[in-house]
Amino acid sequence: MPTPAKQPASWAYAEQFVAEDQVLQRARARAADLECDAVSPGVAATLTVLAAAVRARTVVEVGTGAGVSTVALLRGMADEGVVTSIDTDGEHQRAAREAVADDGIRTNRARMIPGRALEVLPRLTDAAYDLVLLDGDEREYSAYLEQALRLLRPGGLLVVDDALWKGKVADPAARDAQTVAVRDLGRSVVEDDRWLPALLPTGDGLLLAVKRS
């Protein structure tokens, strides 16, 4: 998870407010071994709350990481809920399966699909998902957004991790490709009346948007 170099003590306090158990700690250790970015502790806790708040039964996750976000989502979902997780890296998905099993969650509740998100997402069913989490290639976020709008049911929730991208999104002078892509995504969501958005400073920024009925 990319984060700005300097954060106030209150940010660190909030990130650690909900202590992570050994299952998530082991998942983070696997992520570190794979040199794979995992969502921050604050984001993981927020994902669990959000999944519970929308009573999620069906979730799409773009970017498996090593299973930290997968487990966090499943913990908040209905008992029969399923996360469909998309990633190009098979090792990351194997680590995620291990994390799910480590938490005692039925393995059939984590549907791992290998491949590029822009090839997999169009094959998923319209308006069939309660929550979509974007944590993949930032340069493809605008295309992910179009798919998320199609996939979410009315009242469904879009969640975008790293929405402040190393703190650079708020700096107009930052013009690298990833920063511009994330900034443009946020602008697109705010300017589209089909979304009801908010931006939280959790982790490296968490963009939330409800698909209006």
Give residue 5's pLDDT: 55
72 within some domain: yes
29 within some domain: yes
- Tell me the C-alpha distance between 10 and 88, whole Å: 36
4 has pLDDT over 70 = no
pLDDT digits (tens, 9 = 90+) for 105-126: 999 999 999 999 999 999 999 9
Range of the domain at 200: 9-211
- The CATH number of the domain holding residue 135 is 3.40.50.150
125 within some domain: yes
Give residue 135's pLDDT: 96
200 within some domain: yes
| Domain total in the chain | 1
State the Cα angle at 45 between 203 and 113, rounded to 5°. Answer: 85
CA end-to-end span of the chain, whole Å? 32
161 within some domain: yes
Instruction: State the pLDDT confidence band at 45, using cuts at 50, 70 and 90.
Output: very high
Main-chain phi, psi angles of 88, to 5 degrees: -85, -15
15 within some domain: yes
4 within some domain: no
2 within some domain: no
pLDDT digits (tens, 9 = 90+) for 55-110: 999 999 999 999 999 999 999 999 999 999 999 999 999 999 999 999 999 999 99
